[in-house]
């Protein structure tokens, strides 16, 4: 991964947007979208109450797991190498929710494994 913003971030959609009928739900692990929040690049494609611009954070240890839930016993979906970028969209407690890029996987990474974390 690079320090450059993902393609989905560089191509932010321009409004106005209209609800014009049902929209398919994204796959849970495929797109950075959940019921309350989605990546800004998905505005106009998926309707949620809030959209967020990702904050790119580098992984500081090799093998940092991306988990399905913000818990130490959450299923491991992927492992990130030191220096890889994780796009943070939300922080709750000691966990960052986001994605490894526009194609996922989407999940949680412990904050202490990302640069910029302070106790």
Torsion over CA of 98, 85, 12 and 22, rounded to 10 degrees? -30
Residue 7 φ/ψ, nearest 5 degrees: -55, -40
Residue 107 forms part of a structural domain? yes
Q: Where residue 84 sits, what CATH number does that domain have?
A: 2.30.30.40
* Spatial distance between the Cα atoms of 47 and 66, rounded to a whole number of angstroms: 25
* Unique residue bearing structure tokens 């818990």: 71
Its pTM stands at 0.74
46: in domain: yes
Match 């494609």 to its residue by tokens.
45
Most confident of 1-5, 26-30, 66-70: 66-70
Range of 35's domain?
7-14+29-113
| Alpha carbons 110 and 63: distance in angstroms, whole number | 12
Examine residue 81 and state whether it is found in any structural domain, yes or no.
yes
Residue 85 lies in a domain: yes
- Considering the domain boundaries, does residue 19 fall inside one? no
DSSP-derived letter for residue 33 is B
Q: How many domains does the chain have?
A: 1
Residue 2 included in any domain = no
Whether the bond into 38 is cis, omega within 30 of 0: no
Tell me, yes or no, whether 108 lies in a domain.
yes
Burial of 67 (0-12, 13-18, 19+ CB in 10 A): buried
What pLDDT, in 10s, does the model give residues 49-106? 999 999 999 999 888 999 999 999 999 999 999 999 999 999 999 999 999 876 678 9
Task: Specify if 21 maps to a domain.
Answer: no
Q: State pLDDT tens for residues 6-23.
A: 554 555 555 665 556 555
The pLDDT value given to residue 65: 96
């Amino acid at each position: 991964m690079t320090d450059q913003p993902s393609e989905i971030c560089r191509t932010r959609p321009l409004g106005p947007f209209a609800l014009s009928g049902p929209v398919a739900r994204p796959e849970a692990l495929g797109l950075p979208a959940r019921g309350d929040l989605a990546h800004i690049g998905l505005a106009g494609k998926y309707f949620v109450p809030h959209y967020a611009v990702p904050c790119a954070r580098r992984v500081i240890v090799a093998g940092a797991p991306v988990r399905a839930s913000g818990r130490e016993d959450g299923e491991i979906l992927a492992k990130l190498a030191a220096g890889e970028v994780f796009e943070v969209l939300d922080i709750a407690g000691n966990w960052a929710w986001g994605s490894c890029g526009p194609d996922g996987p989407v999940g949680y990474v412990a904050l202490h494994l990302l640069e910029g974390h302070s106790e």
